[in-house]
Structure 1
Amino acid sequence: MSTSAARPIKSWVFIGLMLALAGLCLWLGNWQMQRLGEKEALIAAVEQRIHSAPVPVPPVADWEHLDSDALVFQPVTLAGRFGYNQTVTVFTNLSSARGAASGPGYWVMTPFALADGGTVFVNRGFIPQAFQEAAVTDGEAGDALVSISGLLRAGERAGFMTPEPNTSDRIEWVRDPQRLAAMVDPAMAPIAPFFIDMPAGAPGELPQGGETVLEFPNNHLGYAVTWYGFAIVAVVMLAFWGRRQFAGSRSDG
């Protein structure tokens, strides 16, 4: 095939690639706008939900198919017994604290055996690093039946770089109920796929509750504008290229 014959084929391939690139960027921009709508709807729902009256915690029968997004940050009530001697601590670095304690420390995650069956991990609050050992060694099984309230939270998921749990010191790195369950008595199963954040207690009390962060990263509009910008750039580049090709063809003629 001569060079002159191959040139149109390469031109069509280039045009196809640029149009495909523009189409992909346009699709990604539309997807980000869809995600923006979903995120704004979630934020509005949570804002309304968090100020609503508490509801009973979902029963064990609902856990397998529970839609956590429909209940996240919902105030709930639950009755049962704390297993203080099964407490697990989750490392964190608390900034912008509402209470007096902040900085490196741990969430105190204590299993709560429901009166109606099943176990829910309860985040009793934050403690500084110096109190970690006491949090996991002090305490009994908790025979007293109590009623508590808090905010329902969806379980966190470990990432690729998340370390394995320190089972000897009862330290975890994410508030994942399934990972936490591996460090408690198997008789406490089944474990809920969510956990509960307790509200703030008396000033200066540890663990320091009421530290739930109500923030939702929402950068979808910026991402959408970026993708739309790439789509425009691809079309403009193709137009300039086509103009040069047309001008070159006329001069050759």
Structure 2
Amino acid sequence: MKARVPLLPTSLVAAAVIVMIGLGVWQLQRREEKNAMLVLAARNPSQSAAAFPLMPPVAPELLFRPSSVHCLRVIGWQVEAGRAADGSMGYRHIAQCATGAEGPGALVAVGVSQRPDATPGWSGGQISGWISEEPDHRAILSRLTGKAIPLRPMLIARAAPAGLKPLAPPSVADVPNNHLAYAVQWFFFAGVAVLIYILALRRRDGAKSA
């Protein structure tokens, strides 16, 4: 007698596979949107200055636009890997600025040093540069599922304080566009899930006939 396929496990696997395929298709759609955004961002550095956005996300029409921030005071620093305008690699120093009595404040990448423990000689003031986004440390799973919180705006300073090298201007080459890879991963997960379930059914049927 032909073995029956278990209804509940099959339904659960089928639902999971449909969700994974849907996420893969969504990532392909996001890739097209990202490509359009990158085309726009490539033109933005030559556009007129725009007001610095204090809240995320950074709109595509603002990404890499010239802007400025008035930092009332620096309340903290963070250090990330970064590239200077002369092409050398080092440590990018990002100031966490207060911009008012209340509110979200602003992030300002002021320059690059060769030592992570270097102390930037900058305590605030008016500073100009380009609108960008904070370094992306979000979990891969959150980006795969579209549940990642948006990145905060960050100003890349045009000039650096004493002791630091100026940062490289923003470039679309520095913007990750991994949506195709994410889509392939979801399609791969869906295929693996189907294969594992088929093998499990065959093993079950073999055990019953033994």
> In which range does the TM-score fall when normalised by the shorter chain?
0.5 to 0.7
SS at match of 1:26: helix
- Alignment-derived partner of residue 166 in structure 2: 208
- Tell me how far apart the structure 2 counterparts of residues 109 and 50 of structure 1 sit (CA, whole Å): 25
Shift of 1:68: 2.7
Shift of 1:19: 3.8
Please list the CA deviations of residues 25-79 of structure 1 after superposition, one character each: whole Å capped at 9, or x if unmatched: 232122122123113312321332231324421567xx4xx5435456241323x
- Tell me how far apart the structure 2 counterparts of residues 216 and 82 of structure 1 sit (CA, whole Å): 31
Shift of 1:130: 6.7
The TM-score with structure 2 as length reference comes to 0.62
Query: 1:149 pairs with 104, 129, 142, which one?
Result: 129
Q: Structure 2: which amino acid aligns with 1:34?
A: W
**Residue 32 (str. 1) matches residue 24 (str. 2):** yes
SS at match of 2:95: strand
The TM-score with structure 1 as length reference comes to 0.54
- Tell me how far apart the structure 2 counterparts of residues 22 and 132 of structure 1 sit (CA, whole Å): 55
Does the 8 Å contact 2:41/2:60 carry over to 1? no
- Tell me how far apart the structure 2 counterparts of residues 76 and 152 of structure 1 sit (CA, whole Å): 10
Which aligned segments of 4 or more residues in structure 1 are displaced greater than 6 angstroms? Answer: none
Query: 1:197 pairs with 141, 145, 156, which one?
Result: 156
Does the 8 Å contact 2:81/2:89 carry over to 1? yes
- Taking the TM superposition and a 5 Å limit, the aligned residue runs for 1:59-98 are 63=55, 67-70=57-60, 73-78=63-68, 81-83=70-72, 86=74, 88-94=76-82
SS at match of 1:121: strand
Does the 8 Å contact 2:128/2:158 carry over to 1? no
Change (3 A) 1:230 1:72: farther
Shift of 1:147: 6.9
- Tell me how far apart the structure 1 counterparts of residues 114 and 122 of structure 2 sit (CA, whole Å): 18
Q: Structure 2: which amino acid aligns with 1:216?
A: N
Change (3 A) 1:242 1:69: farther
- Tell me how far apart the structure 1 counterparts of residues 189 and 153 of structure 2 sit (CA, whole Å): 35
- Alignment-derived partner of residue 187 in structure 2: 225
**Residue 126 (str. 1) matches residue 118 (str. 2):** no
Higher helix share: 1
Q: Structure 1: which amino acid aligns with 2:51?
A: V
Does the 8 Å contact 1:72/1:153 carry over to 2? no
Q: Which structure: larger Rg?
A: 1
% identity of equivalent residues: 8
- Tell me how far apart the structure 1 counterparts of residues 95 and 188 of structure 2 sit (CA, whole Å): 41
**Residue 42 (str. 1) matches residue 34 (str. 2):** yes
Does the 8 Å contact 1:82/1:113 carry over to 2? yes
Consecutive unaligned residues of structure 2, counting only runs of 5 or more, are: 140-150
- Tell me how far apart the structure 1 counterparts of residues 129 and 85 of structure 2 sit (CA, whole Å): 19
Change (3 A) 1:139 1:220: closer
- Tell me how far apart the structure 1 counterparts of residues 116 and 127 of structure 2 sit (CA, whole Å): 29
Change (3 A) 1:121 1:238: closer
Shift of 1:18: 3.3
- Alignment-derived partner of residue 180 in structure 1: none
